């Protein structure tokens, strides 16, 4: 910001809407970002195992759906999800 104010640099601003962002992280992108960030392959595989064959149901007033696969997004409520999201966002800001 100081270089912008001094007229030495251009300033570019971006607004990123992060509402429901955890739900939209592509899993392949997550694996790529983890590896690019230097996460050891054994930990990438541990996280992949956690996400493999994820299933859920939707409950509403009239009942619930059959179980279905969840193939995109981070696990809601997981203590690991904020860390994984930060890895993805960090890599996006680098590229």
- Mean pLDDT per segment of 10 residues, for the chain of length 95 residues? 69 76 92 97 97 92 94 91 94 80
Q: What is the pLDDT of residue 58?
A: 93
Q: What is the pLDDT of residue 42?
A: 98
Q: What is the pLDDT of residue 49?
A: 96
Tell me the whole-structure pTM to 2 decimals.
0.74
- In terms of phi and psi (left: phi > 0; alpha: psi -120 to 50; beta: otherwise), the region of 34 is alpha
Q: For residue 33, give both structure tokens.
A: 């970002």
Q: What is the pLDDT of residue 1?
A: 59
Answer for the pair 73, 21: CB distance below 8 angstroms, yes or no: no
Tell me which residue of 84, 93, 79 sits closest to 44, measured CA to CA.
84
Q: For residue 67, give both structure tokens.
A: 């179980």
Give Dmax over CA atoms of the chain in angstroms.
62
């Amino acid at each position: 910001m100081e270089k912008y104010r001094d007229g030495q640099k251009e300033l570019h601003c971006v607004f990123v809407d992060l509402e429901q962002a955890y739900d939209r992280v592509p899993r392949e992108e997550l694996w790529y970002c983890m590896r690019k960030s230097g996460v050891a392959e054994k930990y990438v595989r541990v996280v992949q195992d956690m996400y493999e064959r994820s299933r859920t149901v939707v409950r509403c007033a009239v009942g619930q759906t059959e179980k279905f696969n969840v193939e995109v997004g981070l696990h809601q409520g997981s203590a690991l999800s904020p860390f994984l999201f930060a890895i993805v966002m960090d890599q996006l800001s680098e590229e």
